[in-house]
């Protein structure tokens, strides 16, 4: 039986987000300060922080290349929405964005269809 039998795309996505949170914290030393934050422009997958910087991370998880690479799923419209979501994030919190650098990143995850094991992780910066 395949690992994806009976699994919804959202459960596969949540698995990818957990992997990315571990990667950001353990490998890069970033603090994950928020996950799955709803804004009027959509949902932010991960909000991370390092001294002087907020990083908004879009996670794309796939179990095959049938629909292209995970990174290719981030269209120019999705990039614009990610920027709008980051602005909305600051607007609803007592955080002055001028005091921080803001980065928009995408992490593409590919999981093995049968085992669910991580087969690739690609981290790309959209906006420095």
CA dist 107 to 1, 13, 97, 103, Å? Answer: 28, 12, 23, 13
Q: How far apart (Å, rounded) are the C-alpha atoms in residues 57 and 85?
A: 11
| Model confidence at 3: pLDDT above 50 | no
CATH number at residue 76: 3.40.1350.10
Structure token pair of residue 116: 């669910």
Domain that holds residue 18: 9-127
| Model confidence at 74: pLDDT above 50 | yes
Closest CA to 45 of 12, 65, 18: 18
What would the mean pLDDT of 25-48 be, rounded to a whole number?
96
Q: How far apart (Å, rounded) are the C-alpha atoms in residues 106 and 102?
A: 14
Residue 1: inside a domain = no
The pTM of the full predicted model, rounded to 2 decimals, is: 0.86
Closest CA to 57 of 125, 109, 110, 120: 125
Closest CA to 21 of 42, 37, 35, 39: 35
Residue 3: inside a domain = no
> Which has more pLDDT, 62 or 29?
29
Residue 17: inside a domain = yes
Number of folded domains that form the chain? 1
């Amino acid at each position: 039986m395949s690992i994806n039998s009976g699994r919804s795309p959202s459960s596969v996505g949540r698995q990818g987000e957990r992997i990315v949170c571990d990667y950001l914290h353990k490998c890069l030393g970033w603090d994950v300060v928020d996950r799955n934050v709803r804004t009027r422009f959509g949902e932010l997958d991960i909000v991370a922080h390092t001294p002087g910087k907020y990083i908004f991370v879009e996670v794309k998880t796939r179990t095959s290349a049938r629909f292209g690479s995970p990174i290719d799923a981030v269209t120019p419209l999705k990039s614009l929405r990610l920027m709008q979501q980051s602005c909305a994030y600051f607007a609803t919190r007592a955080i002055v964005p001028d005091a921080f650098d803001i980065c928009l990143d995408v992490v593409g995850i590919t999981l093995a269809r049968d085992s669910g094991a991580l087969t690739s992780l690609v981290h790309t910066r959209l906006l420095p």
